[in-house]
A and B are shown apart, each in its own frame.
Chain A
Amino acid sequence: MRDDLVLRVVGRLLIPAILLFALYVQFHGDFGPGGGFQAGVMAAAGIIFYSLIHGLVATRRIVPDWVVETMVAAGVLIYASVGLAGILLGGHYLDYSVLSSDPIHGQHRGIFWVEVGVAVTVCGVMLKIYYMFASRGGAED
Chain B
Amino acid sequence: MAVAVWAIAFTRNLFSVVVLSGVYSFLMATVLVALDAVDVAMTEAAVGAGVSTVLLLAALRLCKSEEAKPAHKPWLPLAVSVSTSVLLVYGAWGLPDFGDPEAPIHKNVVPRYLNNEVDVPNVVTAVLASFRAYDTLGETVVVFTAGAGIIALLRRRKKNPDNKGGGA
A residues apposed to B, CB below 8 Å: 25, 29-38, 41-42, 44-45, 48, 52, 69, 72-73, 75-76, 79-80, 83, 94, 96, 103-104, 107-108, 110-111, 114-115, 117-118, 121-122, 124-126, 128-130, 132-134, 136-138
Contacts and interface: CB of A to CB of B under 8 A. Distances in A.
A42 B47 CA distance: 8
Interface residues of B, number: 46
A111 B129 contact: yes
Contacts of B155: 132
Contacts, number: 140
Contacts of A83: 133, 137
A38 B43 contact: yes
Interface of B: 38-39, 42-43, 46-47, 50-51, 54-55, 58-59, 61-62, 117-122, 124-126, 128-130, 133-134, 136-137, 139-141, 143-144, 146-148, 150-151, 154-155, 157, 162-163, 166
Q: Is the interface of A mostly helix, strand, loop or mixed?
A: helix
B155 to A, nearest CB: 7
Contacts of A52: 54
Given A33-B42, A45-B51, A110-B129, 16 more contacts: A31-B120, A33-B39, A38-B43, A76-B144, A79-B140, A110-B130, A111-B118, A115-B125, A118-B139, A122-B143, A126-B51, A128-B147, A129-B147, A133-B59, A136-B154, A137-B62
